[in-house]
Structure formats: structure tokens, C-alpha cells
Amino acid sequence: MKPIILVVGARPNFMKIAPLHAELARRGVNQILLHTGQHYDENMSKVFFEDLRMPEPDIYLGVGSGTHAEQTARVMVEFERICLEHRPSMVVVVGDVNSTIACTLVAAKLWIPSAHVEAGLRSFDRRMPEEINRLLTDSICDILLTPSSDGDENLLREGVSAEKIHLVGNIMIDSLLLNLERAESSDIRERLGVLQGEYGVLTLHRPSNVDDEIAFGRVLSALEAIGAHLPVVFPVHPRTRKQAQEFELEARLEAIPNIILCEPIGYLDFVRLMSGAKLVLTDSGGLQEETTALGIPCLTLRENTERPITVTEGTNIIVGNDTDTIVEAAFKALESGGKTGSVPELWDGRTAGRIADVLLAHVHRDG
């Protein structure tokens, strides 16, 4: 069989590809793991690959950073060369980064079947570059693998043929459940001086929060109020640190009561840190899902989410970046134990197997 190419472009992609790569390897499938290098930090990428027990990528494109157009164009040029050389039976993309749409476009123009893991998610906010990537990827992929029923509904409403849509569950939860026990060996809590159930975790990197000085200041005001009652661990994203320096907010950030600032950390360290938190504040996507799976209250510092099932069924609350709204929701969670929820359908740790079944049925059908 000609190889299946699995594409990763940024760290959030690693957790979505790792279980699928392992499942295909278990079944003896010829596959190529390709890292576009859209986001690449040698130390952090190495840690994530080791934590997830993934092999080194078979191909590394090294496209690096740049504007959305520059990055997408560089991935397309390099990926086309790879496809022409290896003639894959299928291209599998995940998530919503620039590499996702770039590799899907190349596959479509070369008549190579493509599959999108995490299809159908919608924030309905086209100001988000990720939303554009999601919409375009889903419109040209041959196989759409959805994590939850709302994804199916979104695709059907957009006119996608039902035969392309497969509800398989959330592959991020495969990685989470597979690594929870391994993460217990991490000493991250001890290193940071926090005790289980007695601290919060914050992640912050979205342009809507950190590229706007006023919005960034509102979030810091909320942290100043919360920090007076709860230690908050904050692994600082490079983009966030850069913007704090540019807006001269670094000293204010460091002066927040009980704030524990650290560099970005590896996957196993972060799982142990998150799993012991009393409260999580985030503007990322994956954390909304992981906290729902673990029953941890989550405040999402955005005006919307492409993962609404974490709100309707899970532990997530959308609070935006208004200071009073964040503080009120945080204090309510601290006083009452936070919002309770249930784990959505098929978030059971067996999504990779269901995806592999769909992919291989398609490849074998097409010969």
C-alpha cells in the first residue's frame, strides 16, 4: 500500500496525531509522519515527541514563522514536492493551523484523498484565522472526522454530503487518558511549590487578549483579584511575553499576588499540572476539552468557542476578557467548586481506532 501521510504543524497537533500514528503502526500501515515546522522550538518539540512516545518525524519541512500568507505558501510549495515524490494513498491533517489548510489544498489539487481529524468545529467568528482554516479545510476534504455531534450538524448545515462525515470522538482525549498515569511521575507541582486542588492554571496567547494593550490590561486586573485568593501558575507563551514587554506590562504581571510564572512546559508536566488544578483559565481550544474530560472548572477568556459542547455538556464557561466577568466567575467557582458537567459521547480514549477503521476502509475501497 502507498503511504498515508500524517501532517503536524504545531504543538497542539502532536496530541491529535500521536494516538493515530500508534494505532496505524500497530496495524502495520505504511505511513509517513511529516512535520511542517510551522511552529518549532527544538527543546519543546523534542519534549512533546518524547512525552507522547512519537518517533522523530520522517520528514521535516522547516518552514518557520511568517505571515499567514507566507507560511501557508511555503508549506504548499514544500508539501507538493513531497506528495509528488511519495505519491501517498491519503493525506491526514488535524486541527486548524495554517499547515492544515495548506496541505489539504495541495492534496486536493493533486487528486490525493484527504481526511480532516477534528472536522466540523465552528466558532462562527471569521475574524479568527483558525475559523477560515477550518471552513476551507472541511469544504475540500474527502473524509471529515468529527469529535462531537455539533460538528456533524455544522457540516450538514453547510451542505456537506452525509457520506463524508464520520463521528469518531475526540482524539485529544485518547492522548490525555493514555498519559494520565504516566504524568503522575512528573514533579512539576513540587518544582512550582503548589499542592493538588489548591491552585489555578492560566494559559494566554490569543491576539484578542495579548495583542491589544487594553484587553491585556483587563485580564491582568482579573488576575490581580484572583491571585489574592488563589495561587495561579502561568506558563508564559513567547507571544504573550513579547507583548507584555512591548506594552511595558511585564513588571505588573510579575507583581500579581501569588502568580507563578514559568516557561512553557512539556505535555506530561502540563497534564499533571492541569489535572491537579482547582480552576483553569485559558484562551486555547484543547484545554476546554481536557478540563471537561477531567471534570475541572474552566473559564475561557474568549467571546466564543468552536467547542460549544464543552459549555453545553462540560465544565466550560465563556467569560471573554472583561475583568468583572472573569472575577465573578472565578470567585463563584472557588466558592462552589465550579460548574459540573458530563463527558461527551465517544470521548472514551478509543477514537484513534475508529479513525483508523474509516481511513483504511476508504484506502482499500479506492484500491
- Set 205, 229, 237, 364: catalytic member: 205
346: three-class secondary structure by DSSP: coil
205 included as an active-site residue: yes
How far is residue 307's CA from residue 287's CA, in Å, rounded to a whole number? 10
- The grid coordinates of residue 322 equal 472583561
Question: Is 268 within 8 Å of 186 (Cβ atoms)?
Answer: yes
How far is residue 82's CA from residue 64's CA, in Å, rounded to a whole number? 17
Question: Is 54 within 8 Å of 33 (Cβ atoms)?
Answer: yes
77: three-class secondary structure by DSSP: helix
How far is residue 301's CA from residue 222's CA, in Å, rounded to a whole number? 11
Which residues, in sequence order, are CB contacts of 78 under 8 Å at separation 6+? 36, 61, 63
C-alpha distances in angstroms, 273 versus 76, 186, 344?
A: 37, 9, 23
Find, among 100, 151, 115, the residue nearest to 356 by Cα: 115
How far is residue 61's CA from residue 7's CA, in Å, rounded to a whole number? 11
Find, among 107, 110, 114, 133, the residue nearest to 122 by Cα: 133
Residue 261's beta-bridge partner residues?
234
Rg (CA), the chain: 20
Active site residues: 205
